Structure 1
């Protein structure tokens, strides 16, 4: 199946200002030629890194849109889920993903909930349990280390061993996910991205040097590369290596950007995704 024929549904929030979530993913996957649909879980005034923001709940819109799409006989080959705003949304989306998975639709999941050892502001601890329903039907789930610890009831700590990483990955697989990528792991020697590729039944570990700066939206760029590369037939390890390389290059190029809260102007770097 060519990329033009591959129908990808992105379920995530959209910001009025800032290159995060749908605003970051749509340009990349559109550039790669996929046939895209998008379903905003929330409309956000600007990235949540600013001191003030407004979040508009789109649960009713989301529910009605899925009904209309069903009546129109819209179908998908791939679904990618990201930020989910309410318990009701979680129930709707997890049920939808479960139904679609049974039809052979590939499910990619980025369980956006937490980082640096704690939940994001405004995220309820209940979200962790709700998110497991989507992870249970995911072909690929991509939590960061903090989210992995929350999902597996593992104590967050620095200097984690490979054996402990494998244990976390296996617990996430135990929830139901087929393949797993865990990002931002503070291992004993360096930071690493680790994963398990269910297609070849193999673990992988990829060290990286952290650039001491922060941009929102880099996780969405990472997810977009994983989706694109795996749909083009690359192994999960190769896809992850490319995602890490692109994110590193883009972050380094923009490390001196004055306003980092708006994310990275991704359209300037689309040639990197070839």
Structure 2
């Protein structure tokens, strides 16, 4: 039974970050551990929020874990909040990766052609640091463009441009890559590159209008859960896409979308 460490923010009000991922991974039978990068009062689109950076905690925790001999089959990283934090986490991931741990990186930065509220160009640089040690990263289209300094074309890109964007991510250091929320040759798609068989692929999907917080975290958790259970990257990606669609479909009429999807009420959709 494979174990995973989540390195991400903990949000007090909102089913995002670890709050969205933990129930899914646990349901899929993956023992899950956590290292918070920050304590966040609520999702940022409420306009007001409080963030407590946990870099000091991480600095003190990693040596203790090393001394105790703790190890993980996989690590998934999310939001980073400072230079030191990113360097600590990237260094730990690189060290663990050399010992056989699979490193997943969700470079959380923005969507819809812009950075999220509170994100800066410095966060983009920190995420490049994380992508450089990844076995698999899965930015959305906006994040992939920011990471690679590629002009954003919200009207859509060609399949050739999608392949070039995947290759630019690989140049940063990641071995495999997915790009979600793309419009490729006029169709909504997730595009990917799998380094195990040197293959490119794209999977189309139907988009439900509206912005739902936490869907990226749901996608990540389902994707990783199925990968750790032995499924291929392409198959796991399709499963994650379909699961997110079903969860959004169930709660698309909810009043407060900033709060995210109540994951615990959707486990039957897994």
Question: TM-score, normalization: structure 2?
Answer: 0.96
For residues 129 and 260 of structure 1, what CA distance do their matches in structure 2 show? 29
Q: Are the aligned partners of 1:19 and 1:217 in contact in 2 as well (CA < 8 Å)? A: yes
Which residue number corresponds to residue 149 of structure 1? 145
For residues 136 and 8 of structure 1, what CA distance do their matches in structure 2 show? 20
Residue-pair matches, total: 269
Matching of residue 264 in structure 1 with residue 269 in structure 2: no
Give the CA deviation at 1:171.
1.0
For residues 117 and 87 of structure 1, what CA distance do their matches in structure 2 show? 24
Matches within 5 A, 1:157-236: 157=153, 158-236=155-233
Matching of residue 31 in structure 1 with residue 8 in structure 2: no
Which residue number corresponds to residue 247 of structure 2? 250
For residues 52 and 133 of structure 1, what CA distance do their matches in structure 2 show? 28
Give the CA deviation at 1:126.
2.3
Which residue number corresponds to residue 22 of structure 1? 18
For residues 259 and 129 of structure 2, what CA distance do their matches in structure 1 show? 31
Which residue number corresponds to residue 78 of structure 1? 74
Give the CA deviation at 1:266.
0.3
Which residue number corresponds to residue 126 of structure 2? 130
Q: Are the aligned partners of 2:15 and 2:260 in contact in 1 as well (CA < 8 Å)? A: yes
For residues 8 and 167 of structure 2, what CA distance do their matches in structure 1 show? 26
What CA RMSD, in Å, does the superposition of the two structures yield over aligned residues? 1.1
For residues 14 and 119 of structure 2, what CA distance do their matches in structure 1 show? 20
Question: TM-score, normalization: structure 1?
Answer: 0.95
Structure 2: gaps spanning 5 or more residues:
none
For residues 76 and 149 of structure 2, what CA distance do their matches in structure 1 show? 25
What secondary structure does 1:9 align onto?
strand
Q: Are the aligned partners of 1:98 and 1:134 in contact in 2 as well (CA < 8 Å)? A: no
Structure 1: gaps spanning 5 or more residues:
none
What secondary structure does 2:103 align onto?
strand
